[in-house]
Amino acid sequence: MDTNPSLLDFIRVVSELFNISEIEAAFYVGGITIAGALGIVGALALKFGVWNKARGAANIPMQAFTSKTPYQVVRESRSASMKILFTLIMIIVVCACAGIYLYPNQIGEAQAVIQTIENLLRSFIAP
């Protein structure tokens, strides 16, 4: 029994499940996948925009009345900078792990690399 199904097998299962053609199932699967990916990218872009404005707020003169003190504005600016940095680091790590894992014909080696990374991080994650 095949324990590593492919995308084509998944499309066949979807077409049999909903009693539609494989081409139509491929369009549905691809459309849902692309829409989900674009939704995630859009949400990240929105957050990055908000964080970028908060980061730059400490460097511009106050143009309106606000209830925040200058210290609070600077603190939020530093917090936004850290959020941007850590989010970019996480995006790079996820892309690197996905690239290693999905590298053609190298799945065994990719799993070995990911297991090594998990072993190195276990000391930080474990209580």
Mean pLDDT to the nearest integer, 102-116: 67
Residue 29 CB partners (closer than 8 Å, separation 6+): 7, 10, 11, 14
Mean pLDDT to the nearest integer, 3-7: 65
- So what's the pLDDT on residue 1? 44
pLDDT for 47 beyond 70 = yes
Local confidence band at 33 (pLDDT 50, 70, 90 cut-offs) = very high
* CA distance linking residue 54 with residue 81, whole number of Å: 9
Q: What is the pLDDT of residues 51-98, one digit of tens each?
A: 999 998 888 887 767 788 888 889 999 999 999 999 999 999 888 887
* CA distance linking residue 89 with residue 96, whole number of Å: 10
* CA distance linking residue 117 with residue 87, whole number of Å: 19
* CA distance linking residue 77 with residue 58, whole number of Å: 6
